[in-house]
Amino acid sequence: MNSTYLFRVTLLEQLHSGQWQAGDRLPTEREFGEQYQISRSTVRKVLAEMKAQGWIAQTVGSGTYVTDKALVAVPHNKASTGSSPNAGWHTSPAELMEARMALEPAIIEMVIGNATTADFEQMAHCCTRAEAATSVEEFEDWDGMFHEVIARAAHNGFVARLFKLMNQARAQGEWGMLKKRSLTPERRLAYQSEHRALLQAITARDPVQAKALAVEHLVHVRRNLLNY
């Protein structure tokens, strides 16, 4: 892993994990450069990507600050559920699965048309973290984040909010219990393989293959969770 990639994925994880709060000031370009042994121009380029996503804001003469939007990608076990405007809202696993079947393949062309290199790297990072997960809960967090990151790569605010809502629904107890009961080691390996194949098709900007793989994966998940 080269230093630039390490800086990018580490910064993304720090922004989205809640390590910094909205309004916190980030280290300077010089400090980042020294920490990761990369040039200030490289730091500037990565920060520009984060700014374009809306996760940081920069003020001339003042510095770089974390925005509220940076917390969009907090995995559900790290989020503050008590302050969520959707606290108390509930949907069944069957309803959630039906929505996923309809919506996730439908946004593939938008994702392929708008995704950036940084988006592809975030998807790959989610795959890597899911594969390294040591518990069902951690795997489910990164599994859900993979799908949410794909949706964010459409660069459409409405789509991003919709998929964040679906990811919050996955944090509900009924879905979690079904996933925990159904997730055998063999099925987990299959999901990981399906995620990697979907990532490869999206990265290759192949909408036909990506849509087919998205549908295949969701049908597999539905069969394992809901038995149909």
Q: Are residues 58 and 95 in the same domain?
A: no
142 forms bridges with which residues in the sheet? none
18 in the Ramachandran plot: left (φ > 0), alpha (ψ -120 to 50) or beta? left
Question: What's the whole-model pTM score?
Answer: 0.65
- Helices 185-203 & 207-226 angle (0-180, nearest 10): 160
Report which of 214, 225, 11 is spatially closest to residue 100, judged by C-alpha positions: 214
Same domain, 66 and 95: no
Domain final residue pick, 11, 41, 70: 70
For residues 58 and 114, state if they share a domain: no
Q: So what's the pLDDT on residue 173?
A: 67
State whether 105 and 57 are in the same domain.
no
pLDDT of residue 78: 45
Are 152 and 220 in the same domain? yes
Phi and psi torsions of 32, nearest 5°: -60, -45
CATH number of the domain within which 177 lies:
1.20.120.530
Instruction: Tell me, yes or no, whether 78 lies in a domain.
Output: no
Q: Which pLDDT score, from 0 to 100, does residue 185 have?
A: 94
CATH of the domain at 37: 1.10.10.10
Structure tokens at 119: 């988006």
> Positive or negative CA dihedral for 99, 104, 109, 111?
positive
Hey, which residues does 58 pair with through a beta bridge? 64
CB atoms within 10 A of CB 181: 11
Q: How does 72-103 read in b/e, with b if 16+ C-beta sit within 10 Å? A: bbbbbeeeeeeeeeeeeeebebeebbebbbee
Shared-domain flag, residues 95 and 144:
yes
Residue 107: domain span:
90-226
**Does residue 85 sit within a domain?**
no
Instruction: Mark the ranges of the chain whose per-residue pLDDT is less than 50.
Output: 1, 73-88
